[in-house]
Chains A and B, each alone.
Chain A
Amino acid sequence: MTPAPQASATLPIAQRRPAPSSPSLTHLQRLEAESIHIIREVAAELRNPVMLYSVGKDSAVMLHLAIKAFYPSQLPFPLLHIDTTWKFKEMIRFRDETVARLGLNLLVRRNEAGLAEGITPFTHNSSIYTQIMKTEALKSALSSFGFDAAFGGARRDEEKSRAKERVFSLRSDSHGWDPKNQRPELWNLYNGRLKAGESVRVFPLSNWTETDIWQYIMRERIPLVSLYFAAKRPVVERDGQWIMVDDDRLPLRPGEVPEMRSVRFRTLGCYPLTAATESTAATVPEVLQEMLVARTSERSGRLIDHDEAASMEKKKREGYF
């Protein structure tokens, strides 16, 4: 287990609760309560839910909230990880440690056909690779287990088409998303009624921002994979971005020589498709401090979003999370 680097002793201890009879909740308390409410609604109303676990910081927060929602019971649903086989090694190690530490039921699925065909981030462009190794693997896993609800950690502040996503996002029996035919969603009343074959993607972190996520991680002392914190790592500069040489499968282009640089990741995915940023922020407060002066958005490190205009909307129509 890799505990999150924590605040130094000078950092004020987060005040977890308002004083008795305090009239209003802080924004983090409101967000936490809203997410717990959503997670409980799914557990109560849907027949067979599953929680997508990507190992990233948003997954870590979502998992933490789910454990709170059902305490002292165990989670009433399993976790699902779609393994493209190109995740950072450390993500897989952290995933397995987390599952063991918390006694969770984790399912891991890969697109074996795609692997057999030799589809990699290098042989195919990023959108085809993502479609086959992530989206298809996810759809097939959801179908084969008969899951009717899948929690995802997406947030509305990440990207423009996400800003219009419902908390309960209805998917057809082919997992497609029709942005013009979404159910109205009023108050905290979620409509989880489905026809045979339909499913719902549920986003309990819809109203959180990246800053909220980090502040909550600090307040709750949530363990994170250490890739989020700066360390000397082997990287090459490719198309103006730092790509980590996580193993010897990364084909080096002419002139590329791995060098050790102090870098960290703001978002995690498949290592050849996830750019690092140079940083010395090695603790949660340092990461937060760095974010406060950051001038690029979180998803800019995700190469798949740059491929084409409206790329996320298109991927979601096809069943991407």
Chain B
Amino acid sequence: MLGFAQTEELEASSNCETVSHYLHAHERKSLLRFLTCGSVDDGKSTLIGRLLYDTQLLMEDQLAALAADSRRHGTTGDDLDFALLVDGLASEREQGITIDVAYRFFATEQRKFIVADTPGHEQYTRNMATGASNADLAIILVDARQGILDQTRRHSFIVSLLGIRHVVLAINKIDLVGYSQAVFDEIETAYRSFAEPLGFVSLQAIPLSARYGDNVLSRSAKLPWYQGPTLIEHLESIEVESDRRAAPFRMPVQWVNRPNLDFRGFAGTIAAGVVRPGDRVAVARSGVTTLVKRIVTQDGDLPEAGAGEAVTLMLEDEIDVSRGDVLAAAAERPEVSDQFAAHVLWMHDDPLIPGRPYLIKLATSAVGASVTHIKHRVDINNFAKLATKTLEKNEVGFVNIMTQAPLAFDPFCRVHDTGAFIIIDRISNHTVGAGMIDFSLRRASNIHWQALDVNMNARAIAKGQKPALLWFTGLSGAGKSTIANLVEKRLHAIGKHTYLLDGDNVRHGLNRDLGFTDADRVENIRRVAEAAKLMVDAGLIVLASFISPFRAERRMARDLFAAGQFIEIFIDTPLEVAEGRDPKGLYQRARNGLIQNFTGIGSPYERPEAPHITITPDLSADEAAELIVSHLDRGCYLGSATG
């Protein structure tokens, strides 16, 4: 529906052109789905009520009902109690808590929004996961008086587990702490440090008061120290379009469309990637390939269709395809296996018991399955790994699963819709668990794969990792080699295949003929980057540790690699700290005029503009290595989650 400004505009000028302009613009809006998490007292229902109220989505009859309800059940005196708007079930209104997930809708000039309002108690973790599963973003509410609690950590973990990459930390009830910047800063800092391993791509902290509307739709005069966006400004502008279209093509077949002998189509929703007529696709489980002939819709054939679209594909050849099959890009196929490791959230009163037969529904296939082993349970309040024999309701575990027939799938972090599954009890038919696949445990032995060309993907699969070049840049003495060494040790310890390139092993061999003129520096980096490219192609995770002070040469190196293969790591140690260390006495010699063009003294260091990882000086080398390894883990470089 309409925001306030638009209503006024329409009333002021009701001519047809304005309306058609509005309708045209409205039809082209994007959609943002988000969830709110917080406990009963954090005010999340109040916040949603406030959003509905301030965007003028409440109608007169609903306001009248709200006023009556507020007097009967409300907790806000004579004010409207917005929480009553969203607690839909009678038992919820009586008890003043939110039990189930409720969905709310509102719109502004920029976007339409679907809000999942989810309960905060630990016993409703499963309901929160339900709301999170379809959300692009999460608003995590914190009561400014309470700061970060166990439940804040729990909500953040669930949100991260379910694959949400964008978070708003809403520090609510800021009015009750005197609109204090110190309180806000303290909570934000504490949250950022604990949320670091959760891998959120964006994290925006906003001070607000849901009850009084400060910084919800309108900027608050009482928070002059806050320069960031209001909540609605952030929700309107945040870019959450994941790279679903950039991923390899996947379409689980839902239904075979066969109206007559001349037409055989395969209906489904594209889970990832883009498809065009003429593309070569494989039936993942059988390995048979063919070409896409037509993309059929009632509105006419399409030249192209992408992730999220519901289409019907016709194929060139009469091959065996049925519901449960996955049509996939022939060059980049999903895993096919009857064993995989996954994180599972248990949702039922009867615990998960290894060996018990369940059904798994993954995309459009349903197969018998059992958990062979619970590796550990994750304490969702502090992320500790605990040994366990079973999983109780609302518990999260990392498990091995064996299915009765091979399934085609992707790691959840790569493609959500072909990496997520539900677990169904075979007797009660209840949905008892939700799972996210981390990695395949073996390739199903009864599958005959077509011979693959041995390429980077094949080598990477054999090594169980995603090859990449980690480029460490920073001043001499910044700690690049120390940290790179620690990272390599950690990767080696978990069985990853690595190689470390640095000045020591390159300057004495490959680049023995080069000096330190500008031209030689460029050539030095070019050769290092080319050597690294060969190693990445061989399937290795390569660590390159070079001062590389110039943006242009770093860009040259980066341009040799595909997106996601080059990770720039900036060791941001200030000059005075590096010079203080001076492990090789080089700074002293440069200061004494014995070394010309020494970076930081006689020659500039150009700071990276957008490094993938920045290591700040407050981190120890061990902490820095940990940060880098967890970054690789989240990016699926290590083939498995270590959480």
Contact = CB atoms under 8 A, between A and B. Distances in A.
Q: Do A and B bind each other?
A: yes
Interface string B108-126: 0001101000000000001
Given A164-B100, A195-B429, A293-B11, A189 B241 contact: no
Interface in A136-182: 156-157, 160-164, 179-180, 182
A207 B114 contact: yes
Main secondary structure of the interface of B (DSSP, over half): mixed
A72 to B, nearest CB: 5
A232 interface: no
A36 interface: yes
Interface string A185-217: 111110101110000000000110111100100
Contacts of A10: 16-17, 20
Contacts, number: 216
A16 B19 contact: no
B540 to A, nearest CB: 32
Contacts of A103: none
5 contacts: A10-B16, A28-B27, A180-B91, A215-B23, A292-B19
Interface stretch (B129-137, B181-189, B218-226, B594-602): B129-137
Contact of B430 (A21, A71, A183, A291): A183
A57 to B, nearest CB: 16
B255 A36 contact: no
B323 A206 contact: no
A8 B19 CA distance: 12
A25 B361 contact: no
B89 A295 contact: no
A300 B63 CA distance: 12
B298 interface: yes
Contacts of A210: 1
Contacts of B11: 293
A304 B364 CA distance: 39
Interface string A272-299: 0000000000000100110111111100
A315 interface: no
Contact of A26 (B30, B254, B424): B30
Given A179-B100, A292-B2, A14 B259 contact: no
Contacts of B362: 189
A24 B103 CA distance: 22
A7 B60 contact: no
B130 A8 contact: no
A107 interface: no
Contacts of A209: 1, 105, 112
B269 A33 contact: yes
A24 B255 contact: no
A313 interface: yes
A27 B19 contact: no
Interface in B339-384: 347, 359, 361-364
Interface in B408-423: 416-417, 420-422
Contacts of A160: 85-88, 102
Given A163-B103, A293-B7, A313-B89, A186 B269 contact: no
Nearest to A291: B1
A41 B252 CA distance: 12
A32 interface: yes
B60 A289 contact: no
Given A20-B304, A211-B1, A68 B297 contact: yes
A185 to B, nearest CB: 6
Nearest to A294: B59
A292 B7 contact: yes
Interface string A47-80: 0000000000000000000011111111000000
A4 B626 CA distance: 63
B88 A163 contact: yes
Contacts of A16: 299
A11 interface: yes
B434 A288 contact: no
B93 to A, nearest CB: 8
Nearest to B56: A295
A255 interface: no
A15 interface: yes
